[in-house]
């Protein structure tokens, strides 16, 4: 390896990936070593008991590949089991508040743990290093500790909002979790203080020695099953043994002469292609970057995609998605004509009032040969549960299922919930041009979309593309970060759009990207995170 680049939301992650590249590893080796470090240093954003989507591009064969590892509802799940507990739908349409928060925290909030299986499979198929080797940097951070970063500390202190729990509960309610994240005097770790997780280190050493099968059918699986049975959890040995990732090819589309490769449902790539197809019918550059006209036009595409997501996208194993229509340029042209006529798309919500938690992480790796690994992985907003002695936290992805039977996202045994995860790669003349993705709940697709537009329509570098002022429209209201000009916001209001302005200059999603142009690479790390882009 003579040249490679990594962009990710954590410096420790970038460092671990670069070390793997320096040592002769390839992009997959670097991506998995880095991602495993993410599970240690961002332990509520991601973990080996989480879910995600991985995109692989191999330059020598011009081949695209995807590993989907969305978690699935346990076998005991029934469509009607929570229908009498509904309090409200989140205002971005991605999750529900239920009485007792049974879908958000604790042992009933988990889908099957898929992440470590996907990591092992990625290495086996595309890597040159073993899982045991890739685990070593993560084990070191578990045992020697890492300084708590501002984003980690900030997550712990997020208050309860609109029926959602205070995030503090994810590290204090469960005794095994509290043991890790509270100091001996009971206080929380502050920014810069070193946090160690020796239990996670022992689990990782066990996986390195016994293999990933131990997590799904061996000693670790037995410990998980015992903990679930003791605490009313739904995940069983049968659920663990039945965990299977999906190996597939990505969705392929185009935008202004660029090929666009992104993930299939239940990931959010279909939304990316739909929005790009709609916006291809407009001269966005002529409108002016972040002008009122531009924001309104892009927002309408966002709303159309959101409504189609809510009504017509889901787990393809359980729901018949009209893929041909939603991916067609003709459908997009019809939607564009609707926008041009001045029609505003309403986004219906059920007793809206609670924003979805936006906790996930992303990593981009590319080398000078054009090989790419692009991955988003997550715990949702984390269940708060740690099995005693194992050290890792479980996901809480049952939160985003629809508790109303009969809908696209309704509960069902073995079902994955549609998510906005959308690792995406653009190619120009058959060569990679831009690889990117983000954490951030339903805002992921909206941030990735704007970063693509920034790079393609406005010629921005990777860093400029992910740093430029953004807006988000997943409801009838256009949400503006504080760097959107007030004069343009007034223009939106004059058009009849409700707006809300956030005090922050940068907000989720936390987009990361690598641009490859004229034989050179430049990386972008969203300033709203703690991350960086670096090369070797």
Return the higher-pLDDT residue of 14 and 94. 14
Q: What is the pLDDT of residue 350?
A: 60
104-113, 213-222, 352-361, 447-456: which has the minimum mean pLDDT?
352-361
Residue 164 banded pLDDT, cuts 50, 70, 90: low
Give the DSSP per-residue string, 135-203: HHHHHHHHHH-EEPPHHHHHHHTPPPBTTBPPTTHHHHSSHHHHHHHB-TTSPBPPTT-EE--HHHHHH
pLDDT tens for each residue of 459-505? 999 999 999 999 999 999 999 999 999 999 999 999 999 999 999 99
Residue 359 banded pLDDT, cuts 50, 70, 90: low
Cα three-residue angle 498-450-396, rounded to 5 degrees:
80
Residue 146 banded pLDDT, cuts 50, 70, 90: very high
Q: What is the pLDDT of residue 188?
A: 87
Q: What is the pLDDT of residue 158?
A: 72
What share of the chain in percent tops pLDDT 90? 84
pLDDT tens for each residue of 431-466? 999 999 998 888 999 999 999 999 999 999 999 999
The contacts of residue 108 (CB under 8 Å, 6+ apart) are 102, 232, 233, 234, 398
Provide mean pLDDT across the span 144-158.
86
Q: What is the pLDDT of residue 485?
A: 98
What share of the chain in percent tops pLDDT 70? 95
Provide mean pLDDT across the span 150-154.
83
CB-side exposure of 446: number of CA atoms within 13 Å?
29
Q: Is the pLDDT of residue 76 over 90?
A: yes
Question: Any catalytic annotation for residue 360?
Answer: yes
Q: Is the pLDDT of residue 128 over 70?
A: yes
Torsion of CA 347, 348, 350, 354, to 10 degrees: 10
**Cα–Cα distance between 337 and 260 in angstroms, integer?**
23
pLDDT tens for each residue of 90-114? 765 567 889 999 999 999 999 999 9
Mean pLDDT over the full length of the chain: 93
Q: Decide: 280 and 301 in contact? Cβ < 8 Å.
A: no
**Cα–Cα distance between 66 and 122 in angstroms, integer?**
10
Residue 171 banded pLDDT, cuts 50, 70, 90: confident
pLDDT tens for each residue of 229-279? 999 999 999 999 999 999 999 999 999 999 999 999 999 999 999 999 999
Provide mean pLDDT across the span 407-423.
94
H helix or E strand, kind and range, residue 536: none
Domains and CATH numbers, the chain: 10-245+380-400 (no CATH), 248-354+431-535 (1.10.246.130)
Q: What is the pLDDT of residue 352?
A: 47
Q: What is the pLDDT of residue 1?
A: 40
Helix/strand number for the chain, H first, E second:
19, 20
pLDDT tens for each residue of 288-316? 999 999 999 999 999 999 999 989 999 99
Q: Is the pTM of this model over 0.85?
A: yes
Q: Is the pLDDT of residue 280 over 50?
A: yes
Q: What is the pLDDT of residue 357?
A: 45
- Phi and psi of 109, rounded to 5°? -100, 5
Provide mean pLDDT across the span 411-437.
96
Phi-psi region of 180 (alpha: psi -120 to 50; beta: other; left: phi over 0): alpha
Q: Which of 108, 111, 360, 435 is catalytic?
A: 360
Q: What is the pLDDT of residue 116?
A: 98
Provide mean pLDDT across the span 336-351.
89
Q: How far is CA 505 from the centre of its chain?
A: 21
Q: What is the pLDDT of residue 162?
A: 53
């Amino acid at each position: 390896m003579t040249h490679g680049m990594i962009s990710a939301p954590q410096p420790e992650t970038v460092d671990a990936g670069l070390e793997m590249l320096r040592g002769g590893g390839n992009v997959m080796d670097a991506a998995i070593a880095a991602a495993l470090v993410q599970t240690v240093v961002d332990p509520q954003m991601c973990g080996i008991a989480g879910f995600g989507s991985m995109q692989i591009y191999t330059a020598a064969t011009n081949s695209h590949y995807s590993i989907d590892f969305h978690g699935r509802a346990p076998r005991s799940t029934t469509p009607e089991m929570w229908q009498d507990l509904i309090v409200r739908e989140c205002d971005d349409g991605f999750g529900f508040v239920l009485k007792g928060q049974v879908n958000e925290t604790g042992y009933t909030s988990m889908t099957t743990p898929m992440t470590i299986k996907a990591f092992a499979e990625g290495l086996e198929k595309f890597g040159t290093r073993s899982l045991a080797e890739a685990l070593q940097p993560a084990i070191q951070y578990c045992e020697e500790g890492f300084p708590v970063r501002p984003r980690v500390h900030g997550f712990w202190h997020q208050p309860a909002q609109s029926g959602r729990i205070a995030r503090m509960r994810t590290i204090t309610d469960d005794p095994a979790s509290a043991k890790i994240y509270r100091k001996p005097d009971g206080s929380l770790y502050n920014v810069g203080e070193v946090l160690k997780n020796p239990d996670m280190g022992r689990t990782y050493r066990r996986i390195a020695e016994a293999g990933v099968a131990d997590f799904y059918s061996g000693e670790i699986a037995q410990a998980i099953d015992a903990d679930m049975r003791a605490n009313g959890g739904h995940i069983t040995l049968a659920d663990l043994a039945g965990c299977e990732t999906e190996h597939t090819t990505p969705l392929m589309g185009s935008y202004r002469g660029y090929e666009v490769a992104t993930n299939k449902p239940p990931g959010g790539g279909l939304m990316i292609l739909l929005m790009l197809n709609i916006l291809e019918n407009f001269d966005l550059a002529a409108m002016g970057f972040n002008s009122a006209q531009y924001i309104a036009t892009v927002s309408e595409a966002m709303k159309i995609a959101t409504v189609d997501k809510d009504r017509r996208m889901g787990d393809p194993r359980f729901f018949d998605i009209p893929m041909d229509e939603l991916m067609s340029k003709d459908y997009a042209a019809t939607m564009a004509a609707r926008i041009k006529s001045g029609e505003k798309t309403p986004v219906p919500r059920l007793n809206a009032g609670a924003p979805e938690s936006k906790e996930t992480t992303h990593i981009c790796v590319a080398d000078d040969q054009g090989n790419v690994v692009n991955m988003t992985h997550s715990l949702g907003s984390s269940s708060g549960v740690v099995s005693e002695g194992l050290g890792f936290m479980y996901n809480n992805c049952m939160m985003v299922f629809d508790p109303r039977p009969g809908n696209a996202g309704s509960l069902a045994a073995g079902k994955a919930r549609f998510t906005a995860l959308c690792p995406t790669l653009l190619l120009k003349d058959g060569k990679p041009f831009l690889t990117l993705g983000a954490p951030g709940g339903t805002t992921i697709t909206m941030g990735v979309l704007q970063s693509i537009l920034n790079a393609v329509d406005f010629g921005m570098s990777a860093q400029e593309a992910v740093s430029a002022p953004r807006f988000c429209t997943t409801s009838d209201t256009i949400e503006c970060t504080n760097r959107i000009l007030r004069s343009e916001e007034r223009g939106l209001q004059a058009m009849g759009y409700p707006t809300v302005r956030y005090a922050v200059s940068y907000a989720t999603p936390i987009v990361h990207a690598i641009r490859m142009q004229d034989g050179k690479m430049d990386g972008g790390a969203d300033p709203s995170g703690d991350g960086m882009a670096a090369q070797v």
